[in-house]
Copies of this chain bind each other. A is one copy, B any other.
Amino acid sequence: MSLSISSKKDPGFARPRLEANQLRRLGIDTGYEHVVYLDVDSPICRSEGFGPHSRLSLRVGEREILATLNLVHAGLLTANEAGLSESAWLSLRPAPGEKVVIAHPPSVDSMAHVRAKIFGKTLDAGAFEAIIRDIVAHRYSRIDMAAFITASSNHLTPDEVIALTRAMVQTGRQLHWNRPLVVDKHCIGGLAGNRTTPIVVAIAAELGLTMPKTSSRAITSPAGTADTMAVLTQVDLDEARMRHVVETCGGCIAWGGAMNLAPADDLLIHIERALDIDSAGQMVASVLSKKIAAGSTHVMIDIPVGPTAKVRDETEAQALAQLLVHVGAAFGLHVRVLVSDGTQPIGRGIGPALEAHDVLAVLRNEPHAPADLRKHALNIAAAVLELGGIASADRALQVATQCLQSGRAWQRFQAICNAQGGLRMPGRAAYQYMVSAPHSGQITCIDNRRLSRAAKLAGAPASPLAGLTLDVHLGDTVLAGQALFTLHAQSPGELAYAMEYVSRHRSIIGVEALS
C-alpha cells in the first residue's frame, strides 16, 4: 500500500503539539490515576476524537504517561492549554521549551490477560508480571485496576498467588540484610487499637534478633503502626538511616512507604478498599510481597478472628494460614500463624497518640497499662522468639515477659527511638466527650467497625491526638452513667461530627440489663 497524495488541497502534516508553557499545573490530586484536562473545543480533542475518559498518551522528552481525559467546558483552560493533575505533572516534569505530544496511547497489552482472567482462565507467571509492571507504571486506569482486582478475587490458584507475589516483589526495591535470620511480624488488620508491633520489636531486638520493621500508615483505619510511631519519633527514614538504626539497635519501626517495597500493593490496596473486597489470594500476595521485599526470612502473622474483624471465623483463618505458609515457602520465607481473639479491640486507645500512650504504659510496666494489649504483645513476642530460635516453645512466653518486666524492653525501645531521631511524649487532645452507660448492665457486644468510624470522625489519624479511649471490655458490668468510651478531638467541629455519629449508632457498645 503506497501513500500517494491526491487530495484536492495539500493537507500538510499538522499534528497538534503543545509547548511546555501551555501545560498548566491545576493542583488537583486525582490519586493513582493521571488526569489531563483539555478544553472541549481544543484542536487536539477535535482532531483526535477524544471524549470524556478517553485514555491519552502524553510525551515530554523521554517521559511518557498515560492519562485519563476530563473535558473542560468553560473558563478553566483556553483551547490551547492542557491542564495536568498533580501526579501527571510530577511524572512529566515539563521544562520550559520542551514539546508535549498528546496522542492516542499504545494499547496496554497486559489487559488481554485481565480479560482472560475475567473469563475464568488461569494465568501464568509472565501474565502476572506484565500486569503488575503496567500497574506500577501507572498504565492502568482505575477501572482497569478494578477489573483486575475483581477478576482475581473469585479464585487464584496457589501457583497464581505465588506468581502475583513474585511480580509484586520484582517491581519494587528489595532490601537485603546480610544476616541469616531476619524476623518480622504482621497482623491481618481489622482490629482497632491492636498496637503490638513497637512492644514486639523492642523485645525481639533486646533478645538479639534482627527485626527491621517497616509499617504502613492508615488507609481506612484510625491509625496504622507508622501513624502511632510518628507520634513518638521519626518514622520517615531513608534506607541508610534505617540500616544505621538496625545495625546499632537490632531493630527499627519505620514507615515503609518511602522504601518503594512492592509498590503495586500500595496502588491495588486503594481500589480494594474502595470496593471493600479483600480476597484471600490478594491478601496473601499483599502481605508476603512486602515481607519478602523487606528482606525478612521468618515472619509471624497474627490473624485476629471475630464477627467484626477482617477474618470472621476459624475455617477462614485456617485456609488463610495454609495459603500464607504455602506461598511463603515458595520464597524460602518461614511463616508462622497465630490465630487470636478478635472479638473486641485491644488496648484502651484508638488513634495515633492514644495508642502510643497504651504502648508506652505497657513498655514502662505502669500499673494501669492495658492488660489485654500487654498479654497479646507478649504472646506474639513469644512466637517471634521461638520462630527466631531464641527460646523453646515452653519457655518463650516466660523469656518475653521477663524482658518486658525487667525494663529491658523499654530501654531498647528508647534506644531505637533515639536512633530514629529522638523520643517525644505524646500530648492529649483538648476536646473530649464521654459516652456513658444508659442503664446498669453487662457489656455484651463491641462493634469494632463503628468504633473505628467514630475515631476517624473525631479526626484520627490526620489529627494525631484524636480518636477514642475505651473504658470497658466484653463481659464487664457497668452502672448507669459509668463511662463506656471517651471521644478525643483537636477541634470542636471534629468532636461534633463524632458525637453526631455516636448518637445515631447507639449499639456501638451493647449494654444488656441484668435480670
CB-CB under 8 A from A30, the residues of chain B are 52-53, 70
Instruction: List A18-33 residues whose CB lies under 8 Å from chain B.
Output: 26-31
CB-CB under 8 A from A145, the residues of chain B are 143
Partner of A484, one of B1, B76, B457, B499: B1
Among A205-213, A267-275, A389-397, the stretch that binds chain B is A267-275
Partner of A433, one of B11, B118, B144: B11
A497 at the interface (CB under 8 A from B): yes
Contact (Cβ within 8 A) A438 B493:
no
* Among A37, A150, A438: residue with most chain B CB under 10 A: A150
Partner of A277, one of B6, B52, B71, B118: B118
Number of copies: 2
Contact (Cβ within 8 A) A500 B118:
no
* Among A147, A270, A276: residue with most chain B CB under 10 A: A147
Instruction: List A100-123 residues whose CB lies under 8 Å from chain B.
Output: 104, 111, 115, 118-120
Using an 8 Å CB-CB cutoff, how does the interface string of A471-515 with B read, 1 for contact, 0 for none? 000000000010010000101111111011011001111010000
Contacts A146-B143, A271-B143, A430-B8 given: A46-B154 contact, CB under 8 Å?
no
Instruction: List A407-429 residues whose CB lies under 8 Å from chain B.
Output: none
Contact (Cβ within 8 A) A76 B27:
yes
Contact (Cβ within 8 A) B29 A481:
no
Q: How far is the CA of A111 from the CA of B151 in the complex (A)?
A: 16
Contact (Cβ within 8 A) A432 B27:
no
Partner of A27, one of B12, B13, B74, B115: B74
CB-CB under 8 A from A118, the residues of chain B are 150, 153-154, 277
The number of chain A residues with a CB under 8 A from chain B is 101
CB-CB under 8 A from A49, the residues of chain B are 456-457, 459-460, 462
- The chain B residue sitting closest to A456, CB to CB, is B49
Contact (Cβ within 8 A) B6 A434:
yes
CB-CB under 8 A from A499, the residues of chain B are 3, 11, 13
A319 at the interface (CB under 8 A from B): no
Partner of A6, one of B5, B13, B433, B509: B433
Contact (Cβ within 8 A) A52 B29:
yes
Partner of A1, one of B10, B40, B435, B463: B435
- The chain B residue sitting closest to A14, CB to CB, is B493
Using an 8 Å CB-CB cutoff, how does the interface string of A227-246 with B read, 1 for contact, 0 for none? 00000000000000000000
Contact (Cβ within 8 A) A431 B11:
yes
Contacts A7-B433, A14-B492, A143-B143 given: A71-B28 contact, CB under 8 Å?
yes
Question: Apart from A1-B507, A2-B435, A11-B495, what 16 extra A-B contacts exist at CB < 8 Å?
Answer: A1-B506, A5-B433, A6-B433, A7-B434, A9-B492, A11-B496, A12-B496, A15-B500, A27-B74, A27-B75, A27-B76, A29-B40, A49-B457, A115-B276, A120-B155, A150-B150
Query: Which A residues form the contact surface with B (CB < 8 A)?
Result: 1-16, 26-31, 37, 40, 43, 46-49, 52-53, 55, 70-76, 85-86, 104, 111, 115, 118-120, 141-147, 149-151, 153-155, 270-271, 274-277, 279, 430-438, 456-457, 459-460, 462-463, 481, 484, 489, 491-497, 499-500, 502-503, 506-509, 511
